[in-house]
Every structure is written in structure tokens, then in C-alpha cells.
Amino acid sequence: MAVTGRKSPQGGGTVTTAVPARLDLLPWSRRHWMVVVGLGTVWILDGLEVTVVGNIAGRLSERGSGLPISSAQVTGAAAALSVAGACAGALFFGRLTDRFGRNALAAHP
């Protein structure tokens, strides 16, 4: 088992640890795949949201669309709603996690 070392941020001696080597020895499990697939899915959906908003903004701001709105206003509103939704979700699910625990919320039946 390899032991790694690096300088301490406080300016003292070198801190040695076997944690990276121990992590490398852990087997890759189904739960790891679930995390990778879940994060990949969210990443793709985030990119899709940005693409859809960018494409729709041009059509909504065209002359004759019935909306007196600019493309910047459409994208600004979408960005503001996206950030507000992420913050609300973080607050809501953070509170649930504090109340019931991370493993209870992440467990699959």
C-alpha cells in the first residue's frame, strides 16, 4: 500500500496518509455506476436546457411573435428561474437530508 505525503498547509512538516491507496483498493460496485450514470444524466439535461432556451429565445423575440420581449430578456428570465429552482431544491432536499439522513433518501427499494 502506497503512502503519499505533502506539505502541511499550516507550514509544518509533511502529512503522510494511506487514504488514496486504500480508496484504490475498494471494488467498483453497482452504487458507483448509479452515481456515474446519475451525474451524467443531469449533466446532459443541463446542457439540453441551455440549448432549448437558446433556441426558443430567438423565436420568442422575433417581430410578429406577439411578445414585446428581447432575446436577452428571455434568456435572463430562464437563467434566473433555473438558479432559483436549484436553490429551492437545495434548500428543500437539504432539509430532508438533515431530517431523515442521506442514506435513507438515497436508498432504492
- Structure confidence at residue 18 as a pLDDT band (50, 70, 90): confident
How far is it, in rounded angstroms, from Cα 52 to Cα 74? 12
> What does residue 26 show for φ and ψ, rounded to 5 degrees?
-70, 140
Contacts of 108 (CB under 8 A, 6+ apart): 34
pTM over 0.75: no
The string of pLDDT tens digits covering residues 42-53 is: 999 988 988 888
User: CA 7 from chain center: how many Å?
Assistant: 31
Find the helix packing angle between 30-60 and 71-100, rounded to 10°. 150
The string of pLDDT tens digits covering residues 71-108 is: 888 888 878 888 898 899 999 988 988 888 877 877 75
Q: How many CB atoms lie within 10 A of CB 55?
A: 10
